[in-house]
Amino acid sequence: MTSVELLALAAIGEGRYAQGFPSFGPERRGAPVEAFNRINDTRIKKRQRIYRPDVVVVLDPGLISLVNVSEGLKPEGLLIINTSKSLKEIEKHIQFKGRIALVDATAIAWKELKVPITNTTMLGALVKMTDVVKLESLNEPIEHRFGRIANRNLAAMKLAYDEVHLA
């Protein structure tokens, strides 16, 4: 949810319209959670779940073998996965045949944040692969949200931006 909120704030900071919202089911605590962003240059009137996303970002690599992470993803869409595995290993668990970008956000988070929290890290990968907002547009929302540890989050975001690659 943090990533969704920060991305929406960055888009709004650029003068665009944005929504960010989670989708919680009846699952138990710790279960996978979906969160969605809509960003547009015109007012957004829809306020519902996104069933046909353009981009899916997977923060938890363990989800790949548990759920269909590409469900509903448009064939021309983009799947961005936090993983240390190769594309060949990933393809054993997913059916998506479109564009797939990989980044080891967990390793980056450990290096920069000293914890395996990948939300701001994966924002760097998302921005690099989509140009949805300018990377620097995330600076203020991250600084406001994280205060004294913002610099570490910004460093993790920038490193993921530099290391993400189309598989």
In order of start, what are the domains of the chain with their CATH numbers? 2-166 (3.40.920.10)
| Model pTM score | 0.92
Provide the residue-wise pLDDT of the chain in tens; the chain has 167 residues.
899 999 999 999 999 999 988 876 655 555 667 889 999 999 999 888 899 999 999 999 999 988 899 999 999 999 999 999 999 999 999 989 999 999 999 999 999 999 999 999 999 999 999 999 999 999 999 999 999 999 999 999 999 999 999 98
Of 13, 22, 47, give the one whose Cα is nearest residue 119: 22
Spell out the alpha helix ranges (H) of the chain: 2-13, 87-90, 105-113, 119-130, 139-146, 150-163
